[in-house]
Amino acid sequence: MTEETQVSDRMLRPLRVTVGHSGFERDIAALYRAPRNEALPAFVWLGGYRSDMSGTKALEMDRVADETGAAAIRFDYSGHGQSGGAFTDGTISRWLEEALAVIDHFGPRRVVLVGSSMGGWIALRALQELSRRQNPVDVAGLVLIAPAPDFTSALIEPHLGEKERRDLEEKGFFEEMSDYSPQPNIFTRALIEDGRLNRVLNGMIETGCPVHILQGMADPDVPYQHALTLMEHLPADDVVLTLIRDGDHRLSRAEDLARLEAALRGML
C-alpha cells in the first residue's frame, strides 16, 4: 500500500506497523483517519477470520468516524488483506499482539473497539490486556457484530469428525469449505491449541464500559445462542443485544449497516 486512499472525500493515511522480533516480524497494513474532534474516542476495527479492513462494515465504521470527527483505525491481521505473514501462522495470540501494536502505534487515549465475528473475541481479549497496563488505554465501549469468542473450543472442536481430528494430528490442520470464498477455510492445530489459552467464556467478563451486540438469528456460522451465552458472562455491564430475526453472519445489508451506525454513534 503505497498511495494514499480517499474515502468520503477525506484523505486517509496508510502505513505499515512492524510487529514481532527475532525472526517473527511481520508488516501490518493499517489505515488511519485522524480526528477532527479530539474529545471523541477513536474507533478501532477488529475484523473476522479471513476478512480484511476494506469490507462493508469496516467502511461503514470509517464513514461514521468521518461524519462525527472521530478517529478511525483499521488494519489487516497478518496473513490477511495487505499485511505480510502467512495466514497459517495465525493464532488468536498472534493477531491480538498485532491489534495491540497497532493501537499503541497510533496512541489514542480512548477507544471504541468494533469487533466482527472473530474480531469480537479479539476485542474482548484486547480490553483485558489494555486494562492490565500501568497506564491503560480507556476503552469507552464495545460494538460486537456476530461475536465469536472462544469459537475454536465452543463452535469448532465439539463438531470435529474423525477425519478432521486425524488431519489435525497428522497434517497439523484441516480444511473446510467456505460459503464466502472459493478457497477453503484452514484451521490449524496451533490455532485451536492457542484458542484454549485465550478463552474468555470461562468466568465473568468485566468490561467497565457499555457493550452493544448485533446478532443475526439466521446466522449459520455463529448461532445466536452464542451471543446469549456471551451476555451471561457480562452480568455487571450495560449490555444491549440487538437480535435480527432474518440476519445472517455478514450483517452487511443496508438495514444491518443502519443498526451498526446507530450502535457506533451511541458509543460517542
Q: Where do the structural domains in the chain lie, given as residue ranges?
A: 6-150+206-266
Model confidence band, residue 7 (pLDDT cutoffs 50, 70, 90): very low
Q: The CATH number of 6-150+206-266 is which of 3.90.1150.10, 1.10.230.10, 3.40.50.1820, 3.30.413.10?
A: 3.40.50.1820
Q: Between 20 and 262, whose confidence is greater?
A: 262
CA 41 vs. chain centroid, Å, equals 17
Locate 72 and state its grid cell.
478511525
Helix (H) or strand (E) holding 118: helix 118-131
Q: What is the mean pLDDT of residues 75-96?
A: 96
Q: What is the mean pLDDT of residues 76-96?
A: 96
The dihedral formed by the CA atoms of 42, 48, 51 and 55, expressed in degrees to the nearest 10: -50
Q: What is the mean pLDDT of residues 166-189?
A: 89
State pLDDT tens for residues 46-66: 999 999 999 999 999 999 999
How much is the pLDDT for 2? 29
Least confident residue range of 9-18, 74-83, 219-228? 9-18
Task: Name the E strands within 101-244.
Answer: 110-116, 138-145, 173-176, 185-188, 211-216, 239-244
Locate 54 and state its grid cell.
476494506
Residue 81 DSSP code: T
State pLDDT tens for residues 240-257: 999 999 999 999 999 999
Cα(137)–Cα(31) distance, integer angstroms = 20
High-pLDDT (> 90) share of the chain, % = 86
pLDDT at 118 over 50: yes
Q: Give the mean pLDDT of the chain.
A: 93
Q: Between 180 and 17, whose confidence is greater?
A: 17
pLDDT at 37 over 60: yes
How much is the pLDDT for 142? 98
Model confidence band, residue 11 (pLDDT cutoffs 50, 70, 90): low
Q: What is the mean pLDDT of residues 185-211?
A: 96
**Locus of grid cell 516480524:** 25
Of 212, 18, 3, 30, give the one whose Cα is nearest residue 108: 30
Q: What is the mean pLDDT of residues 87-91?
A: 95
Considering the entire predicted model, what is its pTM?
0.93
Cα(251)–Cα(214) distance, integer angstroms = 8
How much is the pLDDT for 54? 94
Model confidence band, residue 23 (pLDDT cutoffs 50, 70, 90): confident
How much is the pLDDT for 194? 98
How much is the pLDDT for 9? 38
Cα(50)–Cα(186) distance, integer angstroms = 10
High-pLDDT (> 70) share of the chain, % = 96
